[in-house]
């Protein structure tokens, strides 16, 4: 028989019979469970540890799933999962066939929104609140948003309407000073001034006493909303004016790791008729000292040793693509003073930390604002600089309009370095880079390079910087192939592929990371007497027409890419063949027209038929029954 409170929690309703002291014990048990599970599976450790206390406070006061909690970037929601009936499955967190590392509506009625990209929770929550009001029902709507996410443009657009409409809802601002890298920008400085002020320290230490002694007065002032704004400012809000001026009542900064304090302020805010923002200050990584000391490392981490906090496994001899990119960019910038690096809250995640250290005046972190990052690059390029924009594939989707209008239309010298292209594995569908080949190939003037190894990445970066016009370079998460890096990078001829294995009975035209799987397939086919050529296309746009024509001469053309087929390289190859009047037997292999779940990348590729064996099987099937499996 377990002595843990956690083992007796099957739904948030069970929290309502617990005392604050018991909730605090439960918080310790949840933190222990999170650390134990993520030490085996990896995961977003630091953000989830920091959010445990206020998540328990929320669920102990709300009546979910009738009431709704919308998480903004759901990697802080592990405690939410543990108390909403998923304790028995928690050991499968982020594993293939297991529960997601993010809220997932198809997984649980307590998960409202598939939170994976930042700054959208306020818009979603406002929509839920307005739908409630149209129905005439009375559920509470709560948006949980981080201090980095609330600085995003979409969040400000939502705040503008929330203040205007005075819709009843609660915004929980989780202020922990961190996103993936340290937060930047004027709003972050604003929060920093709150944390550093004597008023904040006094308020934090005396909040519980004030709530107990003056609860009726505080409650009445919050209820009158905007008409009491001046009184509220004088009592609490000298430093939270930015939200007050938008028409949103605000609490003072509150210790978000103090369950009693959060519950007390919720009692007041749940009775408020308009929008109210609860400003919580939390400690990222709370309860696990290695995560407290290194919150960036433990934002998202692979399996680790609980005692030391060090990651497990044998270190790869091959460098990570992001590190190869970062080091190559530093070398380029040493020779070209016009190069400027831009990222959106991903300095460490994109490998730009060495550049930021070496060239601090030529490095810009715009925060979680991808559209702004690309617009900024437009201005820099117009001003004669050479901006290199490093953003994950899935997040660059948020700036497609700026890529088209601000960069491609004027044909500016901007280089997009797109990390995490293709499948990312454990983070699943919200983070898979499935669409960058399609959305970049459709843009006029854009040229797209897909290096197949780390040496090709160095050449690709040098090429994109050396030539005029917009470029996009896509490369995967994780380690390279272990090939030697070039001493002197070369400018690659535009639209020219390279043959990596000769063959005359079929031609596999492969893109990027899957070139190596295509080579494995060719070896497997050779064992069965089939001679297959493998072409590293290098360029997803413009395509190598001559290589495609030569491939058609074999009679069988197979394209392989780690992106969606619609609008991808394979369809581009088919268009070239049609334009040339050629009609070989063709097959386009890529990611299916569905969202790919989490799992280890090699396993996912195998299930999708995109590993060496899968590609070989597809080729044999295409070539006819004589070679069919």
Tokens matching residue 466? 């050396």
The pair of three-digit structure tokens given for residue 274, joined into one six-digit string:
């308009």
CA distance linking residue 349 with residue 389, whole number of Å: 13
Active-site hit among 104, 398, 541, 620: 398
Name the 3-class secondary structure at 397.
Answer: helix
- What radius of gyration do the chain's Cα atoms show? 27
For 359, the token pair is 């060239």
419: which 2 tokens?
A: 């990390």
- Nearest-angstrom CA–CA distance, 390 and 377: 11
H or E element at residue 589:
strand 585-591
How many other CB atoms are found less than 10 A from the CB of residue 267? 12
87 DSSP assignment: G
Place of tokens 């390289």: 569
Choice among 370, 456, 561, 562 that is catalytic:
370
Question: Has 370 been annotated as catalytic?
Answer: yes
* Whole-angstrom distance, CA of residue 557 vs CA of residue 598: 30
- Alpha-carbon distance of 595 to 619, in angstroms, equals 25
Tell me the two tokens of residue 33.
Answer: 């469970």
- The CA–CA distances, whole Å, from 419 to 116, 360, 437 equal 17, 22, 12
Catalytic site residue from 31, 284, 386, 538: 284
Peptide bond into 227 cis (omega under 30): no
The CA distance from 362 to 340, in Å, is 5
CA of 433: how far to CAs of 158, 391, 422, 604, in Å?
Answer: 27, 11, 4, 14
E-strand stretches of 458-504: 471-474, 498-501
Classify residue 201 by its DSSP letter: H
DSSP H or E segment with residue 260: helix 259-269
Q: Are 443 and 313 in contact (CB under 8 A)?
A: no
Query: Taking a C-beta distance cutoff of 8 angstroms, is the pair 296, 284 a contact?
Result: no
Residue 479 is classified by DSSP as B
Catalytic positions: 284, 370, 398
């Amino acid at each position: 028989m377990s002595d843990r409170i956690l083992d007796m929690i099957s739904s948030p309703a069970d929290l309502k019979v617990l005392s604050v002291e018991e909730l605090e014990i439960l918080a310790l048990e949840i933190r222990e469970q999170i650390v134990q599970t993520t030490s085996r599976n990896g995961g977003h450790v630091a953000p989830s540890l920091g959010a445990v206390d206020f998540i328990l406070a929320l669920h102990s006061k709300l009546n979910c799933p009738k009431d709704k909690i919308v998480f903004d970037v759901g990697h802080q929601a592990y405690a939410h999962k543990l108390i909403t009936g998923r304790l028995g499955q928690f050991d499968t967190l982020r594993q293939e066939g297991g529960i997601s590392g993010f809220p997932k509506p198809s997984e649980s009625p307590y998960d409202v929104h598939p939170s994976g990209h930042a700054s959208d929770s306020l818009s979603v929550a406002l929509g839920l609140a307005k739908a409630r009001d149209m129905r005439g029902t009375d559920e509470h709507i709560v948006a949980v948003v981080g201090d980095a996410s609330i600085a995003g443009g979409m969040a400000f657009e939502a705040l503008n309407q929330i203040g205007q409409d005075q819709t009843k809802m609660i915004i929980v601002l989780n202020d922990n000073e961190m996103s993936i890298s340290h937060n930047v920008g004027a709003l972050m400085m604003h929060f920093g001034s709150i944390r550093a002020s004597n008023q904040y320290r006094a308020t934090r230490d005396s909040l519980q006493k004030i709530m107990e002694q003056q609860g009726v007065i505080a409650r009445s002032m919050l209820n009158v909303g905007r008409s009491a704004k001046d009184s509220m400012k004088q009592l609490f809000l000298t430093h939270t004016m930015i939200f007050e001026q938008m028409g949103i009542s605000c609490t003072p900064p509150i210790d978000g790791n103090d369950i009693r304090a959060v519950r007390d302020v919720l009692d007041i805010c749940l009775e408020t008729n308009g929008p109210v923002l609860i400003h919580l200050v939390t400690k990222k990584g709370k309860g696990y000292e290695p995560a407290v000391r290194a919150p960036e490392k433990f934002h998202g981490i692979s399996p680790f040793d609980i005692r030391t906090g060090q990651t497990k496994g044998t270190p790869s001899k091959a460098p990570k693509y992001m590190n190869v990119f970062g080091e190559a960019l530093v070398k380029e910038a040493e020779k070209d003073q016009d190069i400027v690096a831009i990222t959106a809250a991903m300095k460490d995640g994109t490998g730009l930390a060495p550049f930021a250290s070496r060239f601090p005046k030529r490095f810009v972190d715009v925060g979680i604002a991808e559209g702004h990052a690309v617009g900024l690059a437009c201005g820099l390029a117009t001003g004669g600089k050479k901006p290199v924009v490093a953003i994950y594939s899935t997040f660059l989707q948020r700036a497609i309009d700026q890529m088209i209008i601000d960069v491609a239309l004027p044909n500016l010298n901007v280089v997009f370095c797109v990390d995490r292209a293709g499948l990312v594995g454990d983070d699943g569908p919200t983070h898979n880079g499935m669409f960058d080949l399609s959305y970049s190939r459709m843009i006029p003037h854009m040229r797209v390079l897909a290096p197949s190894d780390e040496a090709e990445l160095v050449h690709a970066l040098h090429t994109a910087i050396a030539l005029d016009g917009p470029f996009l370079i896509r490369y995967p998460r994780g380690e390279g192939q272990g090939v030697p890096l070039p001493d002197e990078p070369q400018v690659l001829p535009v639209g020219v592929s390279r043959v990596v294995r000769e063959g005359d009975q079929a031609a596999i035209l492969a893109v990027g990371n899957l070139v190596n799987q295509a080579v494995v397939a060719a070896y497997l086919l050779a064992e069965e007497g089939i001679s297959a050529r493998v072409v590293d296309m290098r360029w997803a746009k413009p395509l190598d027409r001559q290589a495609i024509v030569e491939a058609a001469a074999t009679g069988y053309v197979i394209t392989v890419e780690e992106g969606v087929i619609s609008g991808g390289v394979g369809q581009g190859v088919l268009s070239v063949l049609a334009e040339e009047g050629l009609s070989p037997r063709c097959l386009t292999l890529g990611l299916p027209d569905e969202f790919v779940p989490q799992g280890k990348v090699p396993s996912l590729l195998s299930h999708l038929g995109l590993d060496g064996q899968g590609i070989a099987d597809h080729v044999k099937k295409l070539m006819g029954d004589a070679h069919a499996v």
